[in-house]
Amino acid sequence: LRFDEQVRVVVFKSQVKGVFCAGADLKERAKMDDAEVGEFVRRLRNLMDEIAALPVPTIAAIDGYALGGGLELALACDLRVAASSAKMGLIETTRGLLPGAGGTQRLPRCVGVGLAKELIFTGRQIDGEQAACMGLVNHSVPQNSEGDAAYQRALTLAEEILPRAPFAVKMGKLAINKGMEVDIASGMAIEGMCYAQNIPTRDRQEGMAAFREKRPPRFTGK
């Protein structure tokens, strides 16, 4: 996906009705020794980092349970849409664990430090509406009879992104992600570097021409 220039947006959904991702198989985990557990979690953390580093926008469609590593997967995405009936939580402390695939870092950046601590310390599960109120998800939608309301809303969101200039969107994502890791002055410098890369693109010229000619732009990603 990283190197496929035809991909504009990636939507993560489950094929299992009522479950987005239930997290690690703790029965499997119980059979591992300490070294195996450490390696398992390291590989899982690396996977989440790779998802977060995808250059195109990513959307998690949460139509059911997103618990533990399942919520960490959703947090690795840029945007999240949840059914109002979905259940989410970093529940690791209820199992004698702590989040190990990015949850302790991505949740505070998403909802704020105090709320993230409360959710992680308590292992509390929340529904889609509560998640939307605290900014954990972008949108909460009533579940439908097919059980894919979040996925359908995610597709609508993806369709809003698709007509936009692909390279500009990628540079916008890069500027935001890298800028969040540094002070604002450094972030401004990162934005400037990303903008500079966008200036010579054909899409920028096409956007200006379409505006002058009062027509929809035809972006190619070049």
Triad 30, 118, 27: Cα angle to 5°: 10
Query: Is the residue at 219 inside a domain?
Result: no
The answer on 104 and 199 residing in a single domain is no
The answer on 152 and 182 residing in a single domain is no
**Rounded mean pLDDT, 125-147:** 96
* pTM of structure: 0.93
Pair 184, 170: CB distance under 8 Å:
no
User: How far is it, in rounded angstroms, from Cα 208 to Cα 213?
Assistant: 9
Of the three residues 162, 178, 205, the one that is the final residue of a domain is 162
The answer on 199 and 133 residing in a single domain is no
Model pLDDT, residue 46: 95
CATH number for position 58: 3.90.226.10
The answer on 106 and 68 residing in a single domain is yes
For 164-184, what is each residue's pLDDT tens digit?
999 999 999 999 999 999 999
**Rounded mean pLDDT, 62-81:** 97
Of 83, 200, 203, 192, the C-alpha closest to 143 is 83
The answer on 176 and 72 residing in a single domain is no
Model pLDDT, residue 173: 97
Domain tally, the chain = 2
Q: Are strands 87-89 and 126-127 parallel, antiparallel or unpaired?
A: antiparallel
Does residue 188 carry a pLDDT above 90?
Answer: yes
Catalytic residue ranges? 24, 69, 72, 92
The answer on 144 and 56 residing in a single domain is yes
Dihedral sign, Cα of residue 204, residue 206, residue 211, residue 216? negative
Pair 104, 60: CB distance under 8 Å:
no
**Rounded mean pLDDT, 188-211:** 94
The answer on 110 and 20 residing in a single domain is yes
CATH number for position 190: 1.10.12.10
Strand partners, 79: 59
Query: Is the residue at 221 inside a domain?
Result: no
The answer on 125 and 39 residing in a single domain is yes
For residue 111 the two structure tokens come to 């909802």
Q: What is the domain range of residue 115?
A: 10-162
User: How far is it, in rounded angstroms, from Cα 85 to Cα 148?
Assistant: 11
The answer on 205 and 135 residing in a single domain is no
The answer on 189 and 156 residing in a single domain is no
Pair 82, 128: CB distance under 8 Å:
yes
